[in-house]
Structure formats: C-alpha cells, structure tokens
Chains A and B, each alone.
Chain A
Amino acid sequence: MSVLTMNNVSYKYDGTTKTVLKNINMDFEKGRLYVIVGKSGAGKSTILSLISGLDTATGGSICYNGTDMSTIDRDEYRAKSIGVIFQGYNLLTNATALENIILSMNISGSKEKNKRRFALDLLARVGIDEETAKRKVLKLSGGEQQRVGIARALSHNPDIIIADEPTGNLDSDTEENIMNILRELATIYEKCVIIVTHSKSVAAYADELIVLNQGKLASLS
C-alpha cells in the first residue's frame, strides 16, 4: 500500500492567479526513492510543502496511510511522520548543530535514552564531527548547514523523508555520501524518500524519476 497518495491535487498561491499545480495524481511507496526534476519555478518546492503538511492543497486531497491529511493533526505529522530537508535549511541559527538535532528529537517525543549520543552519531554519519556539532549553526558553512538539516530530518526516524535540493551546496564527494545514506534509508530502512533536484547525478539514484512540467507530473520510469 502506498504511504502517500495525491488525488487530483491543485494549488494556487493566495492572491495570485497562476495555478502552480494542476490535478496531480501520484502514489508514493515505502522502500522507494523518488526524484522529482523540473525547471526552476516549476512548483517543486510547492509540492514538497504540501506533502510535508506545511501548507494545504487548494484542490484535491493528499492521504497519509489512507487518511486525508486535512483531517489529521498536521503538527504531529510533521513532528513524527515526516522529515524535511529544506532548500533554505531552516535551522535555529543561534543554536548549535547539536541543539537543533536534540530539539527536533524532543519535539517528536523521541524515547531515545541518550539523545545527545544519538544526535552526535547521526551528525557524524552525515560528516559533522563533534567539534563542529557544538558550534552555532550561524558559524557553519552552507554545506555543513545542509548536512545538519539532513541529520535533523532523520533524527526522529520518520516514515517519509523529503528533500529540497539536498545536495545543492555540497561537493561531489559529500554529495555521494549523502545520496548513499538516502539510498540506504529507502532500501534498508524501508523509508519513502522523495527528492527534488535539478542535478543529473542525483537523478541517477532514483527508483522512480518524475518530471514536473507546467503543473503536471509525469513518471519517466
């Protein structure tokens, strides 16, 4: 069964006339890695904000495990069921990388005994050492911030992981490392991973490659 279903989803920003998304139908399943490609301004980030429950569709519905998202507690959904890697990171810049991860675990109600240890291990997996983890996010490079964002999205062990240009600021070695982690999450940990990108090398990791064009989705696989 698909973990996430989009039924005839349309979207228009408040106070604009242009319909960004037009009657989109799509199923996302666990254990698969989806890559959505499209021109800048095609509406890729918009799709992700609908899937992540940060915004609601103006037409149609999105279901999580068969339940219409408009009927569930979307704060709870964001805290526990989905991990979002934002294009603009959206980290607490005055707090340390470590504090960002622990706070996310706390919000999700994580039962982890040693949250600090868990967070440090997770950060190490995305290439952030302990010394860097204790620096304020403000004092980290773009690439480091992106990796903290990735670690945060994984910190509460969600079903779905979505990423908006996750490798945009990374060198090719780190990109490979991150993509391998995301790949593993899908195949080994049975997560549903959805990535938005315009990078060809990222597209190569996809189980299913989807093109967003003129508000419509088309699967290429």
Chain B
Amino acid sequence: MYIIQNAIKNLGRNKGRNILTAMIIFAIILATAVSIIINTTTSAIIEDYKSRFGSKVNIEFDVSHPVQMDDLETVTVEQRREFAKSKLLKSASFRLRAYVIPKDLHSLDEAENGGNNTVVGGQGQPQFREPTALLIGSSRKDISDDFAEGKRKIIQGEMYENKNECLISEQYAKLNNLSIGDNIILESEYADEPMPEELTIVGIYEDKTAIGNELPYKSPLFNRGNEILADFDDVCGMDLAKNMIKMGFIDSEYILKEPSMIEAFEKEVRSKGLSKQYLVSTDESSYNKIVGPVIGLSKITNTFLVVVLALGSMILILLSVLSIRERKYEIGVLRAMGMKKRKVAFGLLTESIVITMACLVLGLGIGSAVSQPMADSMLQNQIEIAEQNQNANGGSNGGATTLDDIINPAKPLSEVSIQIDSTAVLKISVIALILAGVSSLVGIMYITKYEPIKILSERN
C-alpha cells in the first residue's frame, strides 16, 4: 500500500520528467484511440456490407445482350434444384408465383373490376381471364423475409405441411367467411382450361405490410392480402402452375458460404447447364463501390496505428534511457533501505500506470470527440480518390450490365457514424497498459540487473 502512495507522491516529486512522459503517452493514446475507434466502426460496416452483398448470388438475364424471344432460354426448375445442391452454398431457396382465380370467392380490391369474369384474347388464341389472386409457393421453412421479420405472422391454425395445404390472409378469410379446415378451389387464368386444384386452409396470417393500399390504382393483384401461401414443391406439382414455370416466374436465392466462392459457383452452374444469356454475380461491384472508400479509410487508420505505436514506443524508451541517471539513484537508495526488487519494480510500474490511466481517460474523451470529424474528412478524401479512379477506368464493370444496375445504381457510402463500443475501449486500454509497461521497462531492467552497492557507488 505504501508503495502505491510513494509512487503517486513520486510523480509530483519529478514533475518535469513526468509531464514530458505524460505528454508523449497522451499523444500516443489519442492517436491510438482515434484510429481504433474509426477502425472498429469501419470494420463493422465492411462486415455488414460483405455479408449483405458478398454472399447473395444473382442469376440474372444479361440485358446488355438482348436476344429474340424465340431464342430465349429459361432456367428450368430442375436446373435450379441442381444449382441448389452445390456444396459452396450456405442455403438456397425458391419461390414460385402463380396467377390464379379462386372459384366463387371474392378478392380484396376487386370492386372496380366488377368480378372475375373478364375475358381477354382474340379468336383462335387461348382465352384469358383476369387473375384475382396470387398463389405463392415457397421452399423456405420460415416462408419469407416478411414472416422472418415479423411483418407477417400466423395468428390462427398452423404452417402448411402436407400436400394441398395453404395459408390465407386475415382480411381474405373475413371477406369470404373462410376458416381453418375449409377447402378452396383455385383455377388457372385460361378460360378453356381451368385445371382446378383443391386446397385446404390450415392457417390464417396477419399482414402488416399493407403494400398496395396506398396505390392510386386498385387491383386484386396489387393487394397482398390476396396472396395464398403454400409449399414450393407442392405448387410446382400443380398443373395450373406449369405455364408460370415455363415463363420463369420463379425467384431463386442462393447464399454462398463465403463471398469469395462466387467464381467456383459460376463454374459449377455453367457446367450444370446455365445458359450464357444469364449472368452470375454477387453484388460485388456495388459492394466495392459502396464500401471501397470505407475500406480505404480502414487501411489508412491501420497503418497510422502501427506507425504511431512503433514511433511512440521508441520515444518512450528513449526518454526512459535519458532519465535513467535520476532513476538509478532512486532505485539504489530504495534498495539500500532494504526494499525488495519486485517492490521497487512495482513502484515504478505504478507510476507509469497512474500516468497512463490519466492519459487514457483524457485520450478516450478527446479521441471520441474528434473521431467523427476526422473520419468525415478522411472518408471524403477516399471518395474523391475513388471517383478519380473510376473516371480514369471509364467505369469498369466488364461491359455486363443487369437490369438492377440501371434501376439501382450503387452510391458510395458518404457517411460513417462513429460508434464507440466496449471492444474499442478494451483495445485502447490494453494498448495503454502496454505503453505503461514500455515506459517503465528500462528502469525495471535496471533493478533486476544491478546490486544496490553498484548503483550507489556509480554515483558517489
């Protein structure tokens, strides 16, 4: 206990030396804090985008090389199932959307259309009826993101399990006075060929998505309350879905185990027969464009951190070598008075730790205050560099463009919101402790190496 007291008093006894040490340690901790705080924030952003963009595979028609309708090749269900078997995937799921007409039932938002008997199509061609509901087959156990995120949920009955079981929405059930266990008959949109399927309602879902209600134009197909949900395999097997499959009304979602596996995955799906008319990609180019400047920022702060720590440690060691003369005498006197080596060392370390902790508190405070403006200006710099590169390369995207690139051009992240989490604080504290060790290192080495008489006689 008295050692700690003495160490603290000792700080005041050697003001000059300690103020200098404190200034250097403060500078190091401040620089460290800023770079670690920025770095943990950017790392989190990068990880987030990587998992969002890097792993989801898009298999899309290449709109930059259009083909004649007759030459169009579709991706068959069998092919999709083959692709899904790939060992490179974490998961794969399919969704089939089929336009249907539920027999003798009303649809939400149907009033303006006046029923479901509208027939279009000329002489000799198949006669179409206006579809009034959407049958959706999903291969996902949790049905869809809406269900996973809680925007929709089953409030009565249970999930479909067997053949010809389905879920309907609360509003749809109310409108038609339907309840669990009731059967409904779905027909195709072909007037001549209704291909009826009888489905049993096993569950009713609540829908909070409410999309379609705000549209000025009301139509049953825009009202998501008209969605009838069933299993993908089940729907695929239904006759009324055949044409939909042929027309490619299937969405596939393939999630890679690692974003880097995209090339291997493309090779695999091509060998399994995917036509050249389709592009296989993760959204890597968007990812790079969005996250690129943030990655640049992250790299700069990393380099900065290494340089600061290396240089700072060197200065600290140099300083303690220069002040060893004073130190030596102190150590000699304490040892001559009978203080044990480890206690003298502990005293030295305590001095350093007290200085460092004070610097840590100050450094964390100021560091967290200046991190945001520094990150902003550094990021701005990175964006400018990225733009210059982009212009120099003439917009490199390999010439291939998908519809999504045109509709949703990716913009780089222009803001990072700096967050200070416990890992950042922990990292900075650990570095502070190491600095305390470094600055007392020379003295401690001296204590262990020399006998007190040697230290004292050198001075006298």
Contact = CB atoms under 8 A, between A and B. Distances in A.
A78 B460 contact: no
Interface residues of B, number: 24
B453 A76 contact: no
28 contacts: A52-B336, A54-B452, A54-B453, A55-B451, A75-B338, A75-B339, A79-B337, A80-B338, A84-B336, A87-B460, A88-B459, A88-B460, A90-B333, A90-B336, A91-B333, A94-B10, A94-B14, A95-B9, A95-B10, A99-B9, A103-B2, A103-B6, A103-B337, A104-B337, A107-B334, A107-B339, A108-B338, A152-B337
A76 B338 contact: yes
A90 B339 CA distance: 14
A181 interface: no
A106 interface: yes
Contacts of B329: 93
B270 interface: no
- A-B pairs with the 10 shortest C-beta distances? A79-B338, A78-B338, A94-B13, A106-B2, A54-B453, A88-B460, A55-B453, A75-B340, A107-B339, A75-B338
Interface string A60-95: 000000000000000111111000101110111111
Nearest to B340: A75
A49 interface: yes
Contact of B338 (A55, A88, A99, A107): A107
Interface residues of A, number: 27
A116 to B, nearest CB: 13
B326 to A, nearest CB: 9
Interface string B310-332: 00000000000000000001101
Contacts of A88: 456, 459-460
Nearest to A74: B338
A49 B453 contact: yes
Contacts of B333: 90-92
Contacts of B6: 103, 106
Nearest to A155: B337
Interface string B185-204: 00000000000000000000
Given A78-B336, A90-B456, A94-B10, 15 more contacts: A52-B336, A54-B452, A54-B453, A78-B337, A86-B336, A86-B456, A87-B460, A88-B459, A88-B460, A90-B333, A93-B329, A94-B14, A103-B337, A104-B337, A107-B337
Contacts of B334: 92, 107
A87 B13 CA distance: 24
Tell me whether chain B's interface is mostly helix, strand or loop, or mixed. helix
Interface string A121-154: 0000000000000000000000000000000100
A175 B459 CA distance: 26
Interface in B242-285: none
B331 to A, nearest CB: 11
Given A90-B336, A104-B337, A107-B339, A95 B453 contact: no
Contacts of A95: 9-10, 13
Contacts of A92: 13, 330, 333-334
B337 A54 contact: no
Contacts of A54: 336, 451-453, 456
A179 to B, nearest CB: 24
A79 B335 CA distance: 9
Contacts of A99: 9
A152 B338 CA distance: 12
A107 B339 CA distance: 6
Nearest to A92: B333
Nearest to A56: B451
B334 to A, nearest CB: 8
A87 B340 CA distance: 23
Contacts of B341: 75
B339 A79 contact: yes
A80 B329 CA distance: 21
A106 B4 CA distance: 12
A89 B6 CA distance: 20
Nearest to B460: A88
Q: Which of A76, A86, A90, A104 has the most CB of B within 10 A?
A: A90
Contacts of B459: 88
A77 B9 contact: no
Nearest to A103: B6
A95 B460 CA distance: 19
A77 B339 CA distance: 10
Interface in B167-187: none
Contacts of A87: 460
Contacts of B332: 90
A24 B349 CA distance: 42
B16 to A, nearest CB: 11
Contacts of B2: 103, 106
